[in-house]
Amino acid sequence: MSSISLDKSNSHVVVIGAGIGGLTAGALLAHRGYSVLILDQALVPGGCASTFKRQGFTFDVGATQVAGLEPGGIHHRIFSELSIDLPQATPCDPACAVYLPGESTPINVWRDQEKWQEERQKQFPGSEPFWQLMATLFDASWEFQGRDPVLPPRNLWDLWQLTQAVRPSTLITVPFTLFTVGDALRLCGLGNDRRLRTFLDLQLKLYSQVDAENTALLYAATALSVSQLPQGLFHLQGSMQVLSDRLVQSLERDGGKLLMRHTVEQIKVENGKATAVVIRNQKTGEVWTEAADHIVSNVTVQNLVQLLGEQAPSGYKNRVEKLPQASGAFVVYLGVDASAIPPECSPHLQFLYDVNGPIGENNSLFVSVSHPGDGRAPEGKATIIASSFVDPAQWWQTEDYEGLKEKFTQEAIARLAQYFYLKPETIIHQEAATPRTFAHFTARDRGIVGGIGQRIPTFGPFGFANRTPIQNLWLVGDSTHPGEGTAGVSYSALTVVRQIEA
């Protein structure tokens, strides 16, 4: 724990965005003695991990699972430093039940390593060399990541942190740095295993935004292994909002300030250094400039370039403009009678409907189902949240937005009805969110979710650094290492806090 010193309390940090990354950075900096102001244009904190309520149901907006709650996990570490209690949670076991087209028996991603090994050997005979390679790379990557490397490094201090994290046992990952999952499948003689490839495409799209052919192997090794013990995925008691609420309490206890319904319209730069932000109070329309010693942006890298405007360095701006189109999400939120849920239903399911169709666009759905007593539904009721990745472009270009939304909603419900008992009498509440909804409530550029995609040119050592080309301007969130998810963005926040301290 860092002691509070006078020079820190005179150091003013403005954080743009009260998603989990921004709240974590703000809470840690306030706890370490900095003067912190967090600004967000939304009604409630949490960003894509926030919550809304309807007719007694509580719906998680986007994220529904949490990693990093186990001892030594990133949330555990951060909550311990902040002296706040971890939220109550139940382990997801299986982490996901995956249904491939035309199959009625799921592939269960079990939490127990031996059970998961047994499952995958039964489901994908002959694939064990691939899984063993993944396990070896995961162990080395996890050991490396556990020493808090800074990726990608941008100065000598960053480079020193990176070299400190390297051990002979972690060097096994080096030859695989430029491999994709597709390369690894071919290396293991599994390049033509269509069923395994389909399963990996589905799972990786959730974590890396891209399919097996394009996902960086070292990223996938962690994404595909983190749901097993001693790590694991967790379902929070109450809702995902608990995470944000506790971080806000910590921030305010330590003298930090959070202003919701306040939009940052511009980042001011003088002589290559970020100096202030221009803020608009949405309720009163008042506009003012807030000077800052450091500005932490918990926004997409696309939004960051927009906030900089003419001040955006041309090379940085060009790189952002050349990024492949990130995904948006279409989400259906259903409040249902408990009779709509099949017995023994897994809390997290994934469906693919047509093996030749796209992963997304309602052809694949990731589904989260509440369970009795988890605080998301009244007694005898349940929530079903089904999301699909979509190309955001059509949602902005369409001339009949409401018609497109209705078409997607009915299509998703019809597909869900193949598994759940969904009839007018069992559906109590239904609504949907599109990329335009996400853009409205989270201000993320075009409503994109889940980061920029973990391809070789954008993951880890080749991705966007927390340290931007502008002095005292920092980037946290899913556009930076190690990527999406509450654990990923919290890790990026911790990195920025360490960099500011240094």
For the chain, the straight-line distance linking the first and the last C-alpha, in angstroms and rounded, comes to 14
Q: Considering only CA atoms, give the Rg of the chain.
A: 22
Is 24 within 8 Å of 30 (Cβ atoms)? no
Instruction: State the helix-helix crossing angle for 485-501 and 20-31, rounded to 10 degrees.
Output: 40
The per-residue pLDDT for range 93-147, each reduced to its tens digit, is 999 999 999 999 999 999 999 999 999 999 999 999 999 999 999 999 999 999 9
60 phi-psi bin (left φ>0, alpha ψ -120 to 50, beta other): beta
> Which of 34, 17, 96, 60 is CA-nearest to residue 243?
60
Could you tell me the two tokens for 83? 């002296």
**44 SS3 class:** coil
**Helix H or strand E segment including 262:** strand 262-270
Nearest alpha carbon to residue 465 among 450, 451, 482, 453: 482
Round to whole Å and give the CA distance between 461 and 464.
Answer: 9
Say how far apart CA 176 and CA 184 lie, in whole Å. Answer: 9
> How confident is the model at residue 8, as a pLDDT?
72
Exposure of 165 in the CB half-sphere (CA atoms within 13 A): 20
Mean pLDDT, the chain, rounded, equals 96
Name, in order, each residue with C-beta under 8 angstroms of 118's C-beta and a sequence gap of 6 or more: none
| Helix or strand run (H / E) with residue 439 | helix 435-442
Residue 423: what residue type?
Answer: K
Contact 66, 237 (CB under 8 A): no
Answer yes or no: pTM beyond 0.95: yes
What is the pLDDT at residue 261? 98
Return d(Cα 409, Cα 433) in angstroms, integer: 9
- Average the pLDDT over 359-369 and give the result: 96
Whether residue 2 has pLDDT greater than 60:
no
- Rounded Cα gap, residues 253 and 91, in angstroms: 30
Output b/e per residue, 207-223; b: 16+ Cβ within 10 A: bbbbbbebbbbbbbbbb
Q: How far is CA 380 from the centre of its chain?
A: 31
What Cα–Cα distance (Å) separates residue 293 from each residue in 12, 36, 111, 262, 355? 5, 10, 44, 20, 52
Q: Which two tokens stand for residue 364?
A: 């694949």
Structure tokens at 85: 């209690």
Ramachandran bin of 242, using left for φ above 0, alpha for ψ from -120 to 50, beta for the remaining angles: alpha
8 or 218, greater pLDDT: 218
Tell me the C-alpha distance between 50 and 67, whole Å.
Answer: 16
pLDDT tens digits for range 151-172: 999 999 999 999 999 999 999 9
CA 493 – CA 499 distance, rounded (Å)? 10
Question: What pLDDT does residue 10 have?
Answer: 80
Determine contact, residues 101/86, Cβ cutoff 8 Å.
no
Can you read off the two tokens belonging to residue 110? 């079990």
Q: Residues 302-313, buried b or exposed e (16+ Cβ, 10 A)?
A: bbbbbbbeebbe
Question: What's the sign of the alpha-carbon dihedral 58, 63, 69, 74?
Answer: negative
Q: Which pLDDT belongs to residue 9?
A: 66
Q: Is 374 helix (H, G, I), strand (E, B) or coil?
A: coil
- Residues 236-291 have pLDDT tens digits of 999 999 999 999 999 999 999 999 999 999 999 999 999 999 999 999 999 999 99
Residue 7: predicted pLDDT: 60
Nearest to 325 by CA among 356, 358, 302: 302
Q: Taking 90 as the threshold, does the pLDDT of residue 306 lie above it?
A: yes
Extended strands (E) in 186-272: 233-236, 257-260, 262-270
The pLDDT score that the predictor gives to residue 6 is 42
Q: Is the pLDDT of residue 324 over 80?
A: yes
Give mean pLDDT, residues 184-208. Answer: 97
Give the pLDDT band of residue 368 (cuts 50, 70, 90). very high
Q: How many other C-beta atoms are found inside a 10 Å radius of the C-beta of residue 373? A: 10
Task: State how far the Cα of 65 lies from the Cα of 490, in Å rounded to an integer.
Answer: 14
Mean of the pLDDT values across residues 56-75? 95
Task: For residue 366, give both structure tokens.
Answer: 């990731």
| Rounded Cα gap, residues 134 and 184, in angstroms | 9
Cis-peptide, bond into residue 457, ω within 30° of zero: no
Over residues 329-353, the mean pLDDT reads 97
Burial annotation 321-335 (CB, 10 A radius, 16+ → b, else e): eebeebbbbbbbbbb
Determine contact, residues 360/342, Cβ cutoff 8 Å: no
Which residue bears the tokens 């894509």? 48
**Residue 55 phi/psi, 5° resolution?**
50, 40
Provide the 3-class DSSP secondary structure of residue 63: coil
CB under 8 Å to 383, separation ≥6 — which residues? 57, 58, 59, 333, 334, 335, 336, 368, 369, 370, 376, 377
Give residue-wise pLDDT tens across range 430-469. Answer: 999 999 999 999 999 999 999 999 999 999 999 999 999 9
CA distance 496 to 146: 16
